[in-house]
Structure 1
Amino acid sequence: MNALTTPERRGLATISTPAGRMLIVAADQRNGMKAAMKDAPEAGISAGELAQAKADLVRFLANRAPAILLDAEVALPGVVDDGTLARDTGLVVGMDASGYETVEGLRHTRYVDGVTARRVRDLGGDVAKMLFYTRPDRQGPESLVAQQIRDLVRECADEGVLLIVELLTYQLDDESDEAYAAAFPKLVADGARLAVECGAKVLKLQYPGSAEACAAVTEAADGVPWAVLSAGVDHETFVGQVKVAVDNGAAGAMAGRSLWKDSLSISHDIRGRQLTERALPRLRELEAAVDA
């Protein structure tokens, strides 16, 4: 287990329920959030309109959760500076930019320009989050992604910021659907093992597919807490996944589209009503599953 420093322990506490389980509303999406607003005009959604939608998501949903994950390109520092974010809601700042680059057939994420561990603090963040694409069957401890994880863990620790290392595995261009499906649970577990070897102290991972696979991930994480991400599945499916994951060692959940994907609108009034009537009850159900 990679030991937490005192500031990192405080960071973990800010994103956890009173029972000590991580529960974060994920709202750092940009293009994905625009796509969820089905009533958007043909001209599209401006950065200002997206910022307003994110503010409403904070106002009507995330302020009832332990923490929210937001981006530094659209949402921040606005919701902090104008007081929309509640004082007792933890703030996780996403450091990754949208999309990825491909180098020799492998995916690599990019940082949002200028977003460092220090910038996370300047934006009012309690915790940082960075996404790394991994194929641990092709990337070992000496790989570029492993070095990037080590470097960022060290940078955040030096700044007193807890870093959540998010891992996404993916299908290779020349890999069949059947081969990827068979490899997927082990890829998730081996990715967790690689990240922990590189110093990761908190993990955000895909649901590996079964109770047995979740137990394997917990073993690979070697005491490092991991939270399962929703990956766009529907709410009922995700609640079931969270229950299985928590029963087999997961330490919480980070949910985005499963909570709010059918509650967003270009209209502030409609957003407020749908987030309150649809998304908030889902958050309560998810909290119960996390703390069960």
Structure 2
Amino acid sequence: MARNELNTREKRAMAAISTDAGNMLIVAADQRNGMKAVMTDGPDGAVTFEELAAAKADLVRYLGNEASAILLDPEVALPAIPDNGVLSRDTALVVGMDASGFEEVDGLRFTRFVPGVTPQTVLDLGGDVAKMLWYMRSDRQDAASRVGQEIKELVSACEAAGLLLIVEILAYRLDGESEEEYAAKLPELVAGATRVSVECGAKVLKLQYPGSAEACAAVTTAAEGVPWAVLSAGVDHTTFIGQVRTAVANGASGAMAGRSLWKDSLSVNHDVRADLLTNRAVPRLRELQDAVDRVK
């Protein structure tokens, strides 16, 4: 039996964010500063709140509604997108609870909640599922650490609210650590973070690609039956498709893709954006679904 079994309500939510074949497929569009940076008609900071909100609405309209689920933020995208009828009734809504950026304490990174956002807020925004991001160095943090306690607390709060929580974990390079040293440690950092998160009660995980088929299999073992999806982490689409195929072949349960789908399909200009999302991003989504569902 898998650790941290889903209850009936959570199983229904899991089905809502999955393909017909039962694999997770979520378009990530909760980025704020990162999304501004790829709206190529202007540099980060030159995009207004209204322009960013319009881009998010178009991303849902022309791309997200083609997926099982869309991940959106409660600062720019919500509640306007569901309130204005942009979100398809057939596309599940995942609400990101994490604020942009992080604080650093003793060389470790800690994310913050969007102010005032709780599991009840997610439900009030029409969310089917919640998502929270934590940074973790599993070589320095365990279930008894601050990050472990935060995961436990939110898992319990979401369970009490009847809400499925996706726990997203990001490893990162420490100050003074070379890129080569970090790359060598990454497979165990991801597997270690998986073990810690499962120990803290996580029922669904969103994780970095750990680097190889062997590393993916190790993550699956560490997950003890808890489903995990691989995130795109800003790599190009072709690279991500290969990563997803490897991850799924070695136990992953799906993918959550953001920039790999849409980073070169956004524009401040609505007409250009609509064309690129329809004719560039949607075909990528179809290819990603084939990879998730192991269609050859």
Query: Same fold by TM (over 0.5)?
Result: yes
* 1:51 Cα deviation after fit: 0.5
* 1:169 Cα deviation after fit: 0.3
**Which residue matches 1:169?**
171
TM-score normalised by structure 1 residue count: 0.99
Query: 2: CA distance between counterparts of 1:33 and 1:176?
Result: 28
Of 77, 81, 84 in structure 2, the residue corresponding to residue 82 of structure 1 is 84
* 1:111 Cα deviation after fit: 0.3
Alignment of 1:9-88 (within 5 A): 9-40=11-42, 44-88=46-90
Q: Give unpaired runs (5+ residues) of structure 2.
A: none
**Which residue matches 1:179?**
181
* 1:208 Cα deviation after fit: 0.2
**Which residue matches 2:99?**
97
Displacement over 4 Å in runs of 4+: none
1:221 aligns with 2:247: no
- Over the aligned positions, Cα root-mean-square deviation in angstroms equals 1.0
Query: 2: CA distance between counterparts of 1:86 and 1:165?
Result: 25
Cα pair distance change 1:43/1:181, threshold 3 Å: closer
* 1:6 Cα deviation after fit: 1.3
TM-score normalised by structure 2 residue count: 0.97
Alignment of 1:125-204 (within 5 A): 125-204=127-206
Secondary structure in 1 aligned to 2:205?
A: strand
**CA offsets per residue over residues 32-77 of structure 1, 9 Å max, x none?**
1111111138971111110100000000000000000000000000
Query: 2: CA distance between counterparts of 1:249 and 1:124?
Result: 31
Query: 2: CA distance between counterparts of 1:290 and 1:42?
Result: 32
Query: 1: CA distance between counterparts of 2:172 and 2:44?
Result: 32
Query: 2: CA distance between counterparts of 1:184 and 1:61?
Result: 31
**Which residue matches 2:7?**
5
Contact 2:37-2:43 at 8 Å conserved across structures: no
Secondary structure in 1 aligned to 2:51?
A: helix
Contact 2:36-2:43 at 8 Å conserved across structures: no
* 1:181 Cα deviation after fit: 1.3
Of 104, 118, 121 in structure 2, the residue corresponding to residue 119 of structure 1 is 121
Contact 2:205-2:228 at 8 Å conserved across structures: yes
Secondary structure in 2 aligned to 1:86?
A: coil
Contact 2:142-2:196 at 8 Å conserved across structures: yes
Amino acid paired to 1:115: V
Contact 2:31-2:73 at 8 Å conserved across structures: yes
* 1:178 Cα deviation after fit: 2.2
Query: 1: CA distance between counterparts of 2:213 and 2:171?
Result: 19
Cα pair distance change 1:41/1:131, threshold 3 Å: closer
**CA offsets per residue over residues 151-178 of structure 1, 9 Å max, x none?**
0000001001100000000111022222
Amino acid paired to 1:162: L
**Which residue matches 1:110?**
112
Contact 2:30-2:73 at 8 Å conserved across structures: yes
* Aligned-residue identity in percent: 68
